[in-house]
């Protein structure tokens, strides 16, 4: 997928919406709290938290849920993210 002009939070949200049709999805840019830390670029958009509730996650182990989210976000976008905290449930 080509690099988008959308903020990373919006890219993450759009990809997770498309993949999981969640009934609850919050994507938060936590980058400001990590400014100056190793791996935190000056422009931000590097540290994110995702809270998602979706029936599509039913029956998956915690590891499988995390892998599914990473796959849905895609390698190009994951490569631009330094840290991703996930709170996932069905």
Residue 33's pLDDT is: 73
Q: How many C-beta neighbours within 10 Å does residue 90 have?
A: 13
Residue 40's pLDDT is: 56
Residue 46's pLDDT is: 86
Residue 45's pLDDT is: 81
**Within a domain: 60:** yes
**Within a domain: 50:** yes
The predicted model scores a pTM of: 0.84
Residue 51's pLDDT is: 98
Domain boundaries, position 81: 8-89
Cα 2 from Cα 76, distance rounded (Å): 8
Q: How does pLDDT run along the chain (90 residues), one tens digit per residue?
A: 455 678 999 999 999 999 999 999 999 999 877 666 665 555 668 899 999 999 999 999 999 999 999 999 999 999 989 899 999 999
**Within a domain: 57:** yes
**Within a domain: 1:** no
Residue 37's pLDDT is: 65
Q: The domain that contains 60 carries what CATH number?
A: 3.30.300.90
**Within a domain: 2:** no
**Within a domain: 84:** yes
**Within a domain: 54:** yes
Contacts of 56 (CB under 8 A, 6+ apart): 19, 20, 21, 22, 68, 90
Report how many domains make up the chain.
Answer: 1
**Within a domain: 66:** yes
Distances (CA, A) of 57 to 21, 54, 69, 88: 10, 6, 10, 8
């Amino acid at each position: 997928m080509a690099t988008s002009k959308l903020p990373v939070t919006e890219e993450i949200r759009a990809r997770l919406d498309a993949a999981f049709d969640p009934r609850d999805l919050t994507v938060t840019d936590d980058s400001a709290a990590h400014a100056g830390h190793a791996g935190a670029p000056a422009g931000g958009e590097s540290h994110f938290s995702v809270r998602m509730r979706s029936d599509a996650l039913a029956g998956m182990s915690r590891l499988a849920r995390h892998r599914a989210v990473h796959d849905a976000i895609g390698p190009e976008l994951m490569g631009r993210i330094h840290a991703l905290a996930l709170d996932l449930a069905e």
